[in-house]
Amino acid sequence: MSIVESLSPRAIAAPESGIVEVVNYARGREGLLPLWVGEGDLPTPDFISRAAMDALASGETFYTWQRGIPELRRALSDYYVRHFSVCLPAEHFYVTGSGMQAIQICVQALTSPGDEFVYLTPAWPNIAAALEIAGARSVGVTLQFEGGRWTVDLERVEAGITSRTRGIFINTPSNPTGWTATKKDLGDILALARKHDLWIMADEIYARYYFAGGRAASFLDVMKPDDKIIFVNSFSKNWSMTGWRVGWIVAPPEMGQVLENLIQYSTSGVAQFMQKGAVAALDQGDDFVAANIAKATRSRDILCDALIATNRVETLKPDGAIYAFLKIDGVVDSRSAAIDIVDKTGVGLAPGAAFGAGGELFLRACFLRDPAQVAIAAERLCDYILKC
């Protein structure tokens, strides 16, 4: 038996990221325009970095609160008052080592081996992988795609529910499709969860990236205090903090000790100096987030207008999130297409096959970048599309 064969079957079965595969293939090439991963092109702003550096310089390097420092949990509470119009005391918030860890913690809290969790696909692949690694089964329900727009079919969602289903994972605005649930959609999904006594895990990381103005609809707009909903979120996208790996969970206070224990036995908490940077992001970062959203809006329009004008790309401008999900005429293998495109154009795209069922014929482009760079990428892609 080889070394690898002696490892846990669940660990062996963990899939390679189809996104990272393409990134590793072309990372570091001269003139590359990297639209493949979900991050912007700006470094973390100075007011956030300075707060972390000041805390580090003052010696805030010891073990800290597993649930998050009180100052950060209060800042999260204030943030939700400002942007979600809800008053949730600090006891509802739990700081994690990234949005990914927030999902892992919630999966551990809500599922046992053999349980099932329904999610909408195409989807960010990490949710399905997190469930499978934990021993649960991920059940993908494909969004409908017609006329360039994605919609959810509640009958399909209900058909995916069995006696083993523990919950439904909803990411809206969606990575990668840009599908953005209406308030009615969320109410209907919540009614379905209530009917079957299921949890909802709500990933609302892109709620502020809503191009009709304001923010996208949230389960916070439709839920009652006793509904079984847990929220996962991250500092990554709004405040250009992808490399910091700081996220949070919003959950009923009754779950507090369970969540604290799960954090304790994974990372034992997020470094206090990093949490001080996160406090600065929440307290001082509204203008920065607004500027990021404005930039994403301009770049979305530049990219999508150019691609749609070729008459060879089936897509519409997404209602939310930071991605264009493109169906290009003639593309039948998105992985091969992503490799070919980066070789011939220097534009890095993520293959839709990485996002599961329904994404195989698509490519994802992240447009949270300088509009001038996005315009160059759009020109290169249009030239490629018209020639292929």
Cα separation, 362 vs 360, whole angstroms? 6
Q: pLDDT-derived band of residue 377, with 50, 70 and 90 as boundaries? A: very high
Q: What is the pLDDT of residues 329-365, one digit of tens each?
A: 999 999 999 999 999 999 999 999 999 999 999 999 9
Give this prediction's pTM. Answer: 0.95
Q: pLDDT-derived band of residue 278, with 50, 70 and 90 as boundaries? A: very high
Q: What is the pLDDT of residue 272?
A: 98
Q: What is the pLDDT of residue 352?
A: 96
SS3 readout for the chain: CCCHHHCCHHHHHCCCCHHHHHHHHHCCCCCCEECCCCCCCCCCCHHHHHHHHHHHHCCCCCCCCCCCCHHHHHHHHHHHHHHHCCCCCHHHEEEECCHHHHHHHHHHHHCCCCCEEEEEECCCHHHHHHHHHCCCEEEEEECEEECCEEECCHHHHHHCCCCCEEEEEEECCCCCCCCCCCHHHHHHHHHHHHHHCCEEEEECCCCCCECCCCCCCCHHHCCCCCCCEEEEEECCCCCCCHHHCCEEEECCHHHHHHHHHHHHCCCCCCCHHHHHHHHHHHHHCHHHHHHHHHHHHHHHHHHHHHHHHCCCEECCCCCECCEEEEEECCCCCHHHHHHHHHHHHCEECEEHHHHCCCCCCEEEEECCCCHHHHHHHHHHHHHHHHHC
Q: What is the pLDDT of residue 181?
A: 98
Query: Angle at which helices 371-387 and 334-345 pack, to 10 degrees?
Result: 110
Q: pLDDT-derived band of residue 388, with 50, 70 and 90 as boundaries? A: confident
Q: Which residues pair with 362 in a beta bridge?
A: 327
Q: What is the pLDDT of residues 221-236, one digit of tens each?
A: 999 999 999 999 999 9
Cα separation, 364 vs 362, whole angstroms? 7
pLDDT at 159 over 80: yes
Q: What is the pLDDT of residue 140?
A: 97
| 23-32, 162-171, 195-204, 349-358: the lowest-pLDDT one | 23-32
pLDDT at 119 over 90: yes
pLDDT at 11 over 90: no
pLDDT at 12 over 90: no
Give the domains, in start order, of the chain with CATH numbers.
3-44+286-387 (3.90.1150.10), 47-284 (3.40.640.10)
Q: Are 200 and 379 in contact (CB under 8 A)?
A: no
pLDDT at 10 over 90: no
Q: pLDDT-derived band of residue 207, with 50, 70 and 90 as boundaries? A: very high
| 26-30, 216-220, 274-278: the lowest-pLDDT one | 26-30
For all residues of the chain together, what is the average pLDDT? 96
Q: Are 32 and 52 in contact (CB under 8 A)?
A: no
Beta pairing class for 323-328 and 347-348? unpaired
